[in-house]
Amino acid sequence: MAEQKKQAEKVVHEFGPWFDGNCRILVLGTIPSPKSREQGFYYGHPRNRFWKIVSLVFGEKEPVTVEEKKRFALRNHMALWDVLASCVIHGAEDASIREPVSNDMNVILKHADIQAIFTTGSKAAALYRKYCEPVCHRPCIALPSTSPANFRMKEEALLERYQILAERAFFLKQ
């Protein structure tokens, strides 16, 4: 209940994109959740299924620590960032986002040969299409959210939808 009583607050992205020049796919969330900001890395909420799903998709052990997650992402040619640099938001509720300010995708696109851009969740996709795509002229592929708020989507369905990450990463390694 205490979480519901919190007011919306201005959130500024506190850590940068994670990528190197070998990344070929870019995965974008909306903005880091309070738990992710606390950890200083992406998809940090213990009930967020992102790391479990991508580890199954890539056939690897699920990374647990931030350092393991960082190595996992780069090993699989996956850049990570968020669509927004800042916004006003209530907790981690994407539906409450106001005053969005987008990140400049060229920070990554100028330094890595990104072949496919994916968003995690419909809000991330909508914000990307509105603010980023007109600037970088690169479409995104919307994937379902892995956040605890989307637990109506079963793990099997997420695995099916996220399989495209491994397919694209494998195809791009050829």
Instruction: Give one DSSP letter per residue of the chain, joined into a string.
Output: -HHHHPPPEEEE--S--B--TT--EEEEESS--HHHHHHTSSS-STT--HHHHHHHHHTSPPP-SHHHHHHHHHHTTEEEEESEEEEEEETTEEEEEEEEEE--THHHHTTS---EEEEESHHHHHHIIIIIHHHH----EEE---SGGGTTS-HHHHHHHHHHHHHHHHHHH-
Amino acid 107: pLDDT = 95
Question: How does pLDDT run across 111-154, given as a tens digit for each residue?
Answer: 999 999 999 999 999 999 999 999 999 999 999 999 888 878 89
Amino acid 171: pLDDT = 57
Question: How does pLDDT run across 29-75, given as a tens digit for each residue?
Answer: 999 989 999 999 999 999 999 999 999 999 999 999 999 999 999 99
Question: How does pLDDT run across 68-96, given as a tens digit for each residue?
Answer: 999 999 999 999 999 999 999 998 888 89
Domains of the chain, CATH where assigned: 2-173 (3.40.470.10)
Q: Is the pTM of this model over 0.85?
A: yes
The residue ranking higher by pLDDT, 4 or 106, is 106
